[in-house]
Structure 1
Amino acid sequence: MDLDFDKLIGAFPEYELSTKPRPDGGFVLTLEREGKFFQRVVAATVQLDWLISTLQRDLALEHGEVPPVESLKVLHRRPLPRYLRA
């Protein structure tokens, strides 16, 4: 995977980012802030700009906010997969 993790981290400065590799070549991305976790499964072939926009949209929706307009311009209707924490 050839993602620019510095750019990804820079897009979410208020979060701590961590990744966990998956057998299919992708990874589970975790964003953590104030003890709350936000996780998404990221495919090995994902484009960085699309990933950042999708995460911005999903985070806004998760917090009951209106997503930023720029995060909606490059998106498809399909969200990133996620896992629910027990």
Structure 2
Amino acid sequence: MNLDIGTLANAFPDYELSTAPRPDGGYVLTLEREGKSFQRVVPRIGAAAQLDWLISTLKRDLALEFGEVPPVESLKVLHRKPLPRYLRA
């Protein structure tokens, strides 16, 4: 299953979403809003449940990144490893 860009865009309507493919089959996903950029490495998605997990994890990470309280449903995935990210120098 390929990354469903439409579903991701609908989950983050306030953000401009872009992706870049990675050689391992995953993507570098970038969400931008008001000059702020949020970037994560997204693994290859194999099932719809993984897409739900991805959206929940991204919502949690976005909230934490910008000093907000994460949505309650996104806290259910805290036991899982966070998505990798690139740090800009």
The alignment status of 1:45 with 2:45, answered yes or no, reads yes
Amino acid at match of 2:58: L
Equivalent-residue separation in structure 2 for 1:79 and 1:34 (angstroms): 24
Aligned-partner SS, 1:56: helix
Seq. identity, %: 80
Task: Kindly state the Cα deviation for residue 76 of structure 1 after the two structures are TM-superposed.
Answer: 3.0
Do 2:26 and 2:42's aligned partners in 1 also have CA atoms closer than 8 Å? yes
Asked if structure 1 preserves the Cα contact closer than 8 Å seen for 2:28 and 2:41, the reply is: yes
Gaps of 5+ in 2: none
TM-score of the aligned structures, taking structure 2 as reference length: 0.87
Instruction: State the secondary structure of the residue aligned to 1:71.
Output: helix
Equivalence for 2:86: 83
> 2:28 touches 2:42 (CA, 8 Å); kept in 1?
yes
Secondary structure class of the residue paired with 1:60: helix
Look up the SS of the partner of 2:52 in the other structure: helix
- The Cα of 1:75 is off from its aligned counterpart by 4.4
Q: Equivalent of 1:65, from 60, 65, 68?
A: 68
Tell me the SS of whatever aligns to 2:82. Answer: coil
- Return 5+ residue gaps in structure 1 as ranges: none
